[in-house]
């Protein structure tokens, strides 16, 4: 399997603060990696760089074979739009668009809105029956599934999820992780940033960050099934 993501000696320095220090990480195509660390460990900085929303001050980053570390803002936007699906802890949806429109807006900025495809994406996350509802009419778990449907609609090469279950109850957390399993089963590459050992336990590999440095890589702790 080829590497879909390569970080080589990546550092991010904000004035006197080294938010990320000499991080090297490879993620293979189809792999599910969890990045763990406490607050201030550099997880968000790393997400920003891998998600093409910021550029590293040092080092190189390759995404799907393309060197993204020196691209300009416009090209980074294009990469993000075409190759990355982002999922956040907060359910970031557009309040005045219906569920299906929230998915279609991602299609619109990618290429062209296609309602049928958007409806199918909602079906896949179990929200087919809620397609015409506004976000305020959806529960937290449903809103997060809507965000997942939107992140997946343009068939990204890499799914980046930042604390995707942080605001969910146990039942919804399970539903979301099931969806991730399905995606992984279909060959998607997933990078999850979390400080939940339970969420990390779903991954194939866990990377630990501390004070901006990658301290170790480990196999996930085996999950206890009730």
In angstroms, the CA 19 to CA 10 distance is 10
- Contact set with other proteins (CB under 8 A): 44, 47-48, 51, 53-54, 73-74, 77-78, 80-82, 86, 88-90, 92-98, 100-101, 104-106, 108-110, 113, 115, 150, 154, 162
Q: How far is the CB of 105 from other proteins (least distance, A)?
A: 6
Nearest approach, Cβ of residue 49 and other proteins (Å) = 10
The rounded distance, in Å, linking the Cα atoms of 175 and 111 is 29
Q: CA-CA distance, 20 to 188, in Å (whole number)? A: 26
How far apart CA 186 and CA 170 sit, in angstroms, is 24
What is the distance between the alpha carbons of residues 179 and 174, in angstroms, rounded to a whole number?
A: 9
Backbone angles phi, psi at 8, to 5 degrees: -115, 110
Nearer to other proteins, 102 or 189 (CB): 102
* 3-state secondary structure (DSSP) of residue 34: strand
Closest distance to other proteins from the beta carbon of 66 (Å): 16
In the bound state with other proteins, the residue whose beta carbon lies nearer, of 100 and 203, is 100
* Residue number with CB closer to other proteins (28 or 92): 92
| Residue number with CB closer to other proteins (58 or 110) | 110
Which residue in this structure is represented by tokens 């990696």?
A: 33
Q: 33 forms bridges with which residues in the sheet?
A: 191, 205
Closer Cβ to other proteins, 28 or 81, answer by number: 81
209 strand-pairing partners: 214
Give least dist CB 54 to other proteins, A.
Answer: 7
- Closer residue to other proteins in complex, CB, 156/220: 156
Q: Give the shortest CB-199-to-other proteins separation in angstroms.
A: 17
Report the nearest approach of other proteins to the CB of residue 155 (Å): 13
Q: How far apart are CA 162 and CA 83, in angstroms?
A: 17
CB of residue 101 to other proteins, shortest distance in Å = 6
CB 124 within 8 A of CB 150: no
What span, in angstroms and rounded, lies between the C-alpha atoms of 4 and 28?
5
**Both tokens of residue 184?**
């992984």
């Amino acid at each position: 399997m080829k590497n879909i993501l390569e970080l080589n000696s990546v550092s991010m320095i904000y004035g006197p603060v080294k938010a990320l220090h000499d991080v090297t990480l490879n993620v293979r195509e189809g792999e599910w990696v969890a990045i763990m660390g406490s607050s201030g460990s550099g997880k968000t900085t790393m997400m920003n760089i891998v998600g093409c929303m910021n550029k590293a001050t040092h080092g190189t980053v390759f995404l799907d074979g393309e060197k993204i570390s020196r691209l300009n803002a416009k090209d980074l936007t294009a990469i993000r739009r075409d190759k990355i699906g982002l999922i956040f802890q907060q359910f970031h949806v557009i309040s005045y668009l219906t569920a299906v429109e929230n998915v279609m807006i991602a299609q619109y900025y990618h290429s062209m809105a296609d309602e049928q495809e958007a409806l199918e994406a909602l079906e896949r996350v179990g929200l087919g029956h809620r397609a015409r509802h506004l976000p305020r009419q959806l529960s937290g778990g449903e809103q997060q599934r809507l965000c997942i449907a939107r992140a997946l609609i343009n068939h990204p090469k890499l799914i980046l999820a930042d604390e995707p279950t942080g605001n969910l109850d146990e039942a919804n957390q399970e539903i979301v992780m099931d969806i991730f399993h399905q995606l992984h089963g279909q060959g998607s590459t997933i990078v999850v940033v979390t400080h939940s050992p339970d969420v990390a336990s779903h991954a194939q590999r866990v990377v630990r960050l501390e004070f901006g440095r990658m301290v170790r890589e480990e196999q996930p702790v085996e999950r206890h099934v009730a």
